[in-house]
Amino acid sequence: MTIHQTPLKIGVAGAGVMGRNHARVLAELRDVELTTVFDPDAVTAEGVAAAYGATAVTTAEAFVAAGLDAAVIATPNRYHAELGVALLNAGVHVLVEKPIAATVADAQAMIDAAKSNNRVLMVGHVERFNPAVETVKRAIDGDEIISIQITRVGPFPPRMGEVGVVIDLAVHDIDIIRHLTGSEMTEVQSLLGHAHASREDSALLQFRMANDVIAHITTNWVTPYKTRTLQVATKTRFIVADLITRQVTEYFGQQPDGSYSTRMLNSWPAEPLKKEHEAFLHAIRTGETAAVSGEDGLRNLEVALRCLGEKT
């Protein structure tokens, strides 16, 4: 794989909320040149491109032909695979927003294209790079995990139209659970609610992992405030992480009277999206497997679709 010494020419496809965030972070990174922004809406594309001295394009064909070394795909899910495969076949490394694609077949097509063209395909499961998640991962290293519980709730987001909470929110937590346990979901149970939308806007998801850890995700768009908490029970401790404030508390040393000792664990301040981009660039420059591989993205999507009762 080519080791790039010169700045990587990189583009962003999709200039919505996430696309603008990606463009902002890329513009701040060293050894990267944000050259191209693609959005079918010309005003949107030009607005974001102008902010960072990039060129705006309004067609996928122009984006693929822009002479990029790497690209971020932040378009709606249904466009991920077609654009991703075209970019990979053109020799462009790809960081695609989660979920990797709309279907398992589309995800596999992207993985195959990355392999056949020897390009990096990484999936933007940004919570993997949340310092609080990394702190929990370090704290439980070597411990036997008993259970994991994640709560990810908040108000209904006006931008949502195509997907429900499982694909938009819970897919983050499916990835976190797989990451922390190093295991795959073998049993999946789900209860879905439809209060305000045609797609599910609340879900209770339960899993048993291949290594017998049990996990539980509570997610919804019916809570008036945002909560993002991760709780991990092991044989020797209980750890609670707030994924918004990045505060991590460890409970340990249970006494005969049932009391515990507690301590705060350091969670280094860092922007997860920046860390995600740095991991993507590292994979490109070293040839190492991406931190969140195409296969990871495929597994996360498979589980999410199982939760929705869809055949994979």
Work out the burial of residue 191: count CB atoms within 10 Å of its CB; fewer than 13 is exposed, 13-18 middle, 19 or more buried: exposed
| Confidence at residue 4, expressed as pLDDT on a 0 to 100 scale | 47
Give the β-pairing of 248-252 and 261-265: antiparallel
Phi and psi for 305 in degrees, rounded to 5?
-70, -35
* Tens-level pLDDT at each residue, the chain (312 residues): 445 468 999 999 999 999 999 999 999 999 999 999 999 999 999 999 999 999 999 999 999 999 999 999 999 999 999 999 999 999 999 999 999 999 999 999 999 999 999 999 999 999 999 999 999 999 999 999 999 999 999 998 876 567 899 999 999 999 999 999 999 999 999 999 988 767 899 999 999 999 999 999 999 999 999 999 999 999 999 999 999 999 999 999 989 998 999 999 988 889 999 999 999 999 999 999 999 999 999 999 999 999 999 766
Q: 155 pairs with which residues across the strands?
A: 222
**Listed residue (125, 121, 58) closest to 87, CA to CA:** 121
Looking at residue 43, its amino acid is V
Domains of the chain: 8-119 (3.40.50.720), 127-271 (3.30.360.10)
Exposed e or buried b for every residue in 293-311, given b needs 16+ CB within 10 A? bbbbbbbbbbbbbbbbeee
Exposed e or buried b for every residue in 145-171, given b needs 16+ CB within 10 A? beebbbbbbbebeeebeebbbbbbbbb
| Confidence at residue 27, expressed as pLDDT on a 0 to 100 scale | 95
